[in-house]
Amino acid sequence: MKFSAATALAALFVAATAKAPSDKRTFAVLRFNGKELTTGRVDPIVNPGVPSSHVHSVMGGSGFSMHANGQSLMSSKCSNAKIKGDFSNYWFPKLYFHDKKTGKFESVPIFYVNIYYL
């Protein structure tokens, strides 16, 4: 069976533009700009009301605390999230740099965070 160049190009176009049936994912990025909201031994989910076992960097709404819940976060006065009105919080272990010359651990400043959703 012979194919013309036009038929081959049409088949390539259809293959390149068709979505796979299993590819129904959504991709989104949530960006936080500016310095960390706070740092501290705080984890209101794992250790509500008591100090956490390690230090976290926190981004998001100003309602974050050791006792934070949905209601307290919604009453935040501000947020460093780029989406207006997003008062959610994201916290993650604090990053440190180990200076081998001095033996000291130096806090690494965080200036922005991207959260990727698939």
pLDDT digits 0-9 by tens, 47-97 = 999 999 999 999 999 999 999 998 998 999 999 999 999 999 999 999 999
pTM to 2 decimal places: 0.71
> Does a structural domain hold residue 9?
no
What type of residue is 78? C
Domain count, the chain: 1
> Does a structural domain hold residue 3?
no
Q: Tell me the residue range of the domain where 73 lies.
A: 22-117
- Closest by CA to 92, choosing from 48, 42, 23, 34, is 42
> Does a structural domain hold residue 86?
yes
pLDDT band at 99 (very low <50, low <70, confident <90, very high): very high
Strand partners of residue 114: 31
Rounded to whole angstroms, the Cα distance separating 51 from 41 reads 5
> Does a structural domain hold residue 58?
yes
